[in-house]
Every structure is written in structure tokens, then in C-alpha cells.
């Protein structure tokens, strides 16, 4: 379907932007059955929905000639959840309606409110804004809605999640009864349906979301990692994909700040977005991503809503989303407008069941894989490096003179090797990850080489505390100030775990464990570690006859993810 039924000026604007045919959501809102009606639309982010509702409201804005009447009180109101999305919507509507003489005003938090009030007093056909700022202008009398013909809620589910229900209701209650109301959202939970029932009349329901609910242009991957290896896994994923632009999602501002500092130290070009950043800082960060001075963005959920980066091809969920809808919205930053993207969820071993349940709820089929190793990254680096160096390049005479001098001093092989080394020197170093498959829990019969003489130790956490060799190994290295190669077998019982340490390192390990013990406090220091007297098999038999041990509370936030031990105790006594 070609844009044949539109006002000529709109068709001309679309043609100038390279539009040949509408996307599915744009085609749906232009169908005859949608004309003049309220719309409730389920559409994925990146599906062209801004242009869709821009086209759908054209009959209310343009006369038969295609030109707009002089600007006065707004005829259309677009409400978006974040500053970035509102500004983006404003930019899209400016090029769509620029030739038709439509005036557009934006009203968003973080901008000069007095300038916005002056713009509103001078007249605007369309007002685009965030709920809080629009409500403020409405209550101050700067935003007049008596002439409104169209109200649009963009990403309505996000606005409800962010707590804007009262703001939305106050704004919509101030609009005329005869207006058209559009609700655009990637998902349609019950609160959205209730809002539609209250403020819409005979709304046409449109859905362009596939049955799998996972964006069709996004490849989902779930990467299982040891909790202590999450940051290293992020580094390796960035190095493995080498995406033009990547976005990393964290749950809190503190975690954004920490990961941003860590990646910067490792040599990545990275920016951060969270609630603690001013609008000016956010604008600079986004501009750095758009002009490719930065390639990685670390962000919280709220800070990243509404961001549209055309080159974004990789999303990493550093911390697990709170639910399936958050997963969908985060991932929807990539795979937009027909481009392919990858969304990777980092899954600590104890959280796998929760993530599997979340993926089922979102009807997303994710591939479960291991984090990229150094060997995987080196293999990709070689292929990328060859492709880069073999690309045709334009050179001038000065370049050729310098190349001739180099060839006179060095062989072609030496020059090529130096070029390869210079390219590699710019790349951050990949990290060595804990390899669960080769961990100490996979011992064959008989002692491993170097473990013919060992000392056994006990720690007071077991299966009931979700103990796992993949967490215990880094914990023991931190507490005992030894390396993983000095730790042998790990045997996990219900309430405790036994492990062996090379005899040569046992005394040093025991002394370090005593120094790092913190009596009466949560966390790693509160885990009791002591040497076992006698053979471990005899100890295990004796322990099964003992009464259940008393358990102290679990770790502080930020410590290894063993669940609170008082919870395990409640489960035993329930």
C-alpha cells in the first residue's frame, strides 16, 4: 500500500524522508474503519507509531487544502512518559507537518518552564509533553484544552507504571467530551484497559504485536554466570559483539555509577543515564552516542525509556528486569524500524528458574548460552580485523610517500604485524570467567594432580542456602586469599559444605579465614569456615546424625546471593 490517500503535503514529507509504504501500524490507522474513531493500539516500540498517530490525527488538524488554520489553543495533545521520548515525538511531528504550517510546542520537565509558557501563549496546533509538566501548565492556566480535538497517550503502560495515573486523569478530565483519544502502547495490561474504558468511546482495537510478544527483529539470549562474574561477563559480551551502540540496564543509580566507572577504567567509550543526571548531561550523553564518540550507555529503566538510537544493536540486561513487560520495554530499545538487534539477559545461577518463568510469561524463546570466552572473542577479533584492514581506502599522495618509506625500512610482514598490533591495542582486554564445567565439582575418580595431599574444611552453608560450587569458589578465594587452583573438590550437604585445600596452602588459608571473619554480621564474613578433623566421609555420616545447626541471618545487599538463612530455618519448621 502506497501513501495515496493522504494530504499532498504529508505525502510529500513522507517521500522526502524515504517512506515508500506504511508500516503495519501506520497502515492500520489509515484504514477506513479507523477514520474518526478512538483508537487503542498495541504496537511494539520502533514500529513507526509516532508517524502512525501523526497521520491518524491529520483530519482534525488540516483543512481541505492541506494547510493549517492560524495557531491558537492546541488542537492536539501528545503525552509521553519521558523527556527524551517527548522531544523525539516533537522532532518527528515537525518534519511530518512542517510543510503544512503546523506549530508544535514541547513541554517537558528539566526545561525552562517560562519559555514553554510563552510558546503556549503565542499559539500552537500540537502540544507534546510529559504528564507532570503538562499538569503544571494546566493548573497555572498556561495550557488551555477547550479546543482540543485529539488526545494521544504514547506508551501509556509506561506512564501508569511510573505513577502518572493522577496526572493523566486530571489532564484528560480537562479536555472536551467530543475529542478523539488514541492510546498507543507496546502492551495492554488491565490498568490500560480500564483507562480506555473511562476515556474512550467505541474505540477500535488495533494490534500489530506478534503472538510471541517478543520483538520479531530481536534475538534473545540468556547467559548463565556466577554472581561474582557478572561484571566480567558484561566486558566479554561487549568485546564479543563489538556493537556500534550498546545499552546496559541496571536497577539502581548506584549500580549505573559503579558499572560506568568500571567500564571507563577498562577502556570502553561509555556514558551513563540515570535520574541523578541533569537534562543537559543527558543531552550530551545521547549526542555522544549519536555521533559515535561513545559506544556504550549504562542506564536505569526510567532514564532509558523513550530513547531512540538508530545504531543501537545490543541490549544487555545486567540486572534481571522486574517483570516480563520491563524485559520487553528494555529490549525494545533495539531491533527498531526493521533493523536486527540482540537482547542478552545475564542470569546468576540461582535466578534461572525465575528468568525462565519470565520468558514464558512474555512468550519469548531465548537461547541459553554461556558467556563468551577469551578464545571466542579472539576468534571474532581476527575476523573483524581482517575485514577492516582489507576494506578499500582512499589515500592521498602524502600517504603513499609515507608507505614507500616504511617499505624501505621494514618488510611488508613487519608493517602488517605492526598494524595488527596497533588495532588490537585499542581494544579492552577480555576477562577470564569461571568455567563451571571444569570446576572442582567435576572430579574424576582419584585425586587430581597436585591434590594427593590435602586438608579438608567445612563451611556452614549448604543446599538449603542455595550453595553452589560456582559461587563458593570465588567466595573461598576472597575469604582465604588463595587461588582457585589451590581448591579441590567441593561437596555440598543440606546444611553445610566440605571442600579441600592443598596442604601447602592450608595454613595460609586458615589464617586468612580467621582475619576475614566478622562475627555477628551478615555477608561473607558471617559464614563460619573451620578445618575438618578426620576423613570427610566420616564427617558427613556424623553430621547427618547431628541436630540442625543454628543459622544466622543472610548477607547484606550487594553480597553473594545466598538467601536469608532464617528463611531456610522457617522452611524447616513450617
More confident residue, 180 or 472: 180
Looking at the chain, the whole-number percentage of residues with pLDDT higher than 70 is 84
Cβ(320)–Cβ(347) below 8 Å: yes
- Residue-wise pLDDT for 195-221, tens only, equals 988 999 989 998 876 543 445 578 999
DSSP letters along 194-236, please?
Answer: HHHHHH-SSPEEEE---TT-S-TTEEEEEEEE-GGGHHHHHHH
CA–CA gap between residue 529 and residue 517 (Å, rounded): 9
Q: What is the DSSP letter of 432?
A: P
Other CB atoms within 10 A of residue 6 CB: 18
CA–CA gap between residue 315 and residue 312 (Å, rounded): 8
- Taken as a whole, the chain contains a residue count of 574
CA–CA gap between residue 127 and residue 389 (Å, rounded): 50
Q: Which domains does the chain have, with CATH numbers?
A: 8-207 (3.40.50.300), 218-376 (3.40.50.300), 436-573 (3.30.70)
Cβ(527)–Cβ(465) below 8 Å: no
Cβ(327)–Cβ(364) below 8 Å: yes
Residues 6+ apart with CB under 8 A from 318: 230, 234, 248, 249, 250, 255, 259, 298, 346
Cβ(188)–Cβ(42) below 8 Å: yes
pLDDT value for 434:
66
Residues 6+ apart with CB under 8 A from 37: 180, 202, 203, 204
Per-residue confidence at 397, pLDDT binned at 50, 70, 90? confident
Per-residue confidence at 122, pLDDT binned at 50, 70, 90? very high
pLDDT value for 117:
94
pLDDT value for 282:
83
Residue 569 has pLDDT above 50, yes or no: no
CA–CA gap between residue 530 and residue 549 (Å, rounded): 15
- Residue-wise pLDDT for 81-95, tens only, equals 888 889 889 999 999
Residue 544 has pLDDT above 60, yes or no: no
Per-residue confidence at 441, pLDDT binned at 50, 70, 90? very low
- Residue-wise pLDDT for 266-305, tens only, equals 889 999 998 788 878 888 888 899 888 999 999 988 766 6
Highest mean pLDDT among 313-317, 416-420, 429-433: 313-317
Average pLDDT value for residue range 125-150 = 94
pLDDT value for 557:
39
Residue 452 has pLDDT above 90, yes or no: no
Residue 558 has pLDDT above 80, yes or no: no
Q: What is the DSSP letter of 52?
A: H
Backbone dihedral region for residue 91 (phi beyond 0: left; psi -120 to 50: alpha; all else: beta): alpha
pLDDT value for 481:
87
Cβ(152)–Cβ(196) below 8 Å: no
Residue 562 has pLDDT above 60, yes or no: no
Q: What is the DSSP letter of 373?
A: P
Residue 27 has pLDDT above 80, yes or no: yes
pLDDT value for 3:
62
Q: Look at the block and give the residue holding cell 625500512.
A: 409
pLDDT value for 347:
92
Per-residue confidence at 6, pLDDT binned at 50, 70, 90? confident
Least confident interval from 276-290, 504-518, 544-558: 544-558
CA–CA gap between residue 221 and residue 321 (Å, rounded): 14
Residue-averaged pLDDT of the chain = 82
Residue 451 has pLDDT above 80, yes or no: no
Per-residue confidence at 548, pLDDT binned at 50, 70, 90? very low
Residue 538 has pLDDT above 70, yes or no: no
pTM for this model (two decimals): 0.55
Q: Which three cell numbers stand for residue 9?
A: 503535503
CA–CA gap between residue 253 and residue 181 (Å, rounded): 36
Residue 39 has pLDDT above 70, yes or no: yes
Residue 513 has pLDDT above 50, yes or no: yes
Per-residue confidence at 383, pLDDT binned at 50, 70, 90? confident
- Residue-wise pLDDT for 14-25, tens only, equals 888 888 788 888
Dihedral over alpha carbons 356, 358, 371, 298 (to 10 degrees): -170
- Residue-wise pLDDT for 46-64, tens only, equals 678 889 999 999 988 887 6
More confident residue, 527 or 176: 176
Per-residue confidence at 392, pLDDT binned at 50, 70, 90? confident
Highest mean pLDDT among 141-145, 275-279, 337-341: 141-145
Residue 436 has pLDDT above 60, yes or no: no
- b/e per residue 290-314 (b: at least 16 CB within 10 A): eeeebbbbbbbbebbbbbbbeebbb
pLDDT value for 482:
86
Q: Which three cell numbers stand for residue 507?
A: 595454613
Residue 408 has pLDDT above 80, yes or no: yes
pLDDT value for 129:
95
Pairing of strands 454-459, 497-502: antiparallel
Q: Which of 261, 235, 242, 247 is nearest to 289 (CA)?
A: 247
Residue 433 has pLDDT above 90, yes or no: no
pLDDT value for 13:
87
- R_g of the chain, CA atoms, integer Å: 30
Q: Which of 26, 10, 5, 1 is nearest to 337 (CA)?
A: 26
For residue 323, give the 3-state DSSP assignment: coil
CA-to-CA dists, residue 458 to 354, 444, 472, 489, 530, angstroms: 30, 21, 12, 12, 5
Per-residue confidence at 128, pLDDT binned at 50, 70, 90? very high
Helix residue ranges, H only, 410-520: 412-425, 469-480, 503-516
Amino acid at each position: 500500500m502506497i501513501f495515496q490517500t493522504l494530504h499532498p503535503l504529508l505525502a510529500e514529507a513522507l517521500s522526502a524522508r524515504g517512506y515508500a509504504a506504511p508500516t503495519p501500524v501506520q497502515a492500520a490507522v489509515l484504514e477506513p474503519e479507523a477514520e474518526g474513531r478512538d483508537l487503542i493500539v498495541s504496537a511494539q516500540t520502533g514500529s513507526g507509531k509516532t508517524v502512525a498517530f501523526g497521520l491518524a490525527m491529520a483530519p482534525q488538524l488540516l483543512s481541505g487544502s492541506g494547510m493549517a488554520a492560524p495557531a491558537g489553543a492546541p488542537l492536539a495533545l501528545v503525552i509521553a512518559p519521558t523527556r527524551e521520548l517527548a522531544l523525539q515525538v516533537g522532532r518527528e511531528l515537525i518534519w511530518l507537518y512542517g510543510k503544512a504550517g503546523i506549530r508544535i510546542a514541547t513541554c517537558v520537565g528539566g526545561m525552562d518552564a517560562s519559555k514553554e509558557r510563552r510558546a503556549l501563549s503565542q499559539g500552537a496546533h500540537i502540544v507534546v509533553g510529559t504528564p507532570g509538566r503538562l499538569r503544571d501548565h494546566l493548573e497555572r492556566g498556561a495550557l488551555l484544552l477547550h479546543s482540543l480535538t485529539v488526545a494521544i497517550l504514547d506508551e501509556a503502560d509506561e506512564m501508569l507504571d511510573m505513577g502518572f495515573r493522577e496526572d493523566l486523569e486530571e489532564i484528560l478530565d480537562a479536555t472536551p467530551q467530543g475529542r478523539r483519544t488514541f492510546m498507543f502502547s507496546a502492551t495492554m495490561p488491565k490498568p490500560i484497559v480500564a483507562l480506555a474504558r473511562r476515556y474512550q468511546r467505541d474505540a477500535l482495537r488495533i494490534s500489530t504485536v506478534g503472538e510471541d510478544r517478543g520483538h520479531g527483529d530481536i534475538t534473545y539470549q540468556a547467559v548463565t554466570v556466577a554472581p561474582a562474574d557478572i561484571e566480567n561477563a558484561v566486558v566479554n559480551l561487549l568485546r564479543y559483539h563489538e556493537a556500534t551502540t550498546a545499552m546496559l540496564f541496571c536497577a539502581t543509580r548506584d549500580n549505573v555509577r559503579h558499572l560506568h566507572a568500571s567500564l571507563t577504567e577498562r577502556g570502553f567509550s561509555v556514558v551513563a543515564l540515570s535520574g541523578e543526571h541533569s537534562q543537559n548531561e543527558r543531552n550530551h550523553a545521547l549526542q555522544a552516542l549519536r555521533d559515535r564518540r561513545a559506544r556504550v550507555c549504562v542506564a536505569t529503566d526510567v532514564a532509558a525509556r523513550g530513547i531512540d538510537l538508530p545504531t543501537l544493536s545490543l541490549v544487555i540486561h545486567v540486572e534481571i528486569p522486574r517483570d516480563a513487560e520491563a524485559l520487553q520495554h528494555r529490549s525494545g530499545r533495539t531491533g527498531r524500524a526493521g533493523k536486527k538487534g540482540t537482547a542478552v539477559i545475564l542470569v546468576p545461577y540461582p535466578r534461572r528458574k525465575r528468568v525462565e518463568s519470565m520468558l514464558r510469561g512474555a512468550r519469548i524463546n531465548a537461547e541459553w548460552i554461556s558467556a563468551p570466552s577469551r578464545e571466542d572473542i579472539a576468534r571474532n577479533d581476527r575476523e573483524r580485523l581482517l575485514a577492516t584492514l582489507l576494506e578499500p581506502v582512499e589515500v592521498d599522495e602524502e600517504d603513499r610517500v609515507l608507505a614507500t618509506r616504511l617499505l624501505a625500512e621494514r618488510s611488508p610482514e613487519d608493517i602488517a604485524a605492526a598494524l595488527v598490533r596497533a588495532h588490537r591495542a585499542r581494544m579492552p582486554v577480555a576477562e577470564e570467567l569461571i568455567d563451571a564445567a571444569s570446576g572442582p565439582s567435576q572430579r574424576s575418580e582419584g585425586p587430581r594432580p597436585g591434590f594427593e595431599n590435602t586438608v579438608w574444611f567445612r563451611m556452614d552453608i549448604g543446599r538449603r542456602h542455595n550453595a553452589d560450587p560456582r559461587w563458593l569458589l570465588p567466595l573461598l578465594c576472597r575469604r582465604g586469599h588463595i587461588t582457585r587452583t589451590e581448591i579441590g573438590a567441593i561437596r555440598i550437604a543440606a546444611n553445610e559444605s566440605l571442600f579441600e585445600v592443598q596442604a601447602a596452602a592450608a595454613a595460609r588459608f586458615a589464617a586468612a579465614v580467621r582475619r576475614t571473619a566478622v562475627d555477628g554480621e551478615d555477608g561473607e564474613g558471617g559464614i563460619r569456615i573451620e578445618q575438618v578433623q578426620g576423613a570427610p566421609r566420616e564427617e558427613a555420616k556424623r553430621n547427618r546424625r547431628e541436630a540442625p545447626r543454628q543459622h544466622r541471618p543472610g548477607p547484606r545487599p550487594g553480597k553473594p546471593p545466598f538467601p536469608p538463612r532464617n528463611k531456610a530455618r522457617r522452611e524447616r519448621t513450617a
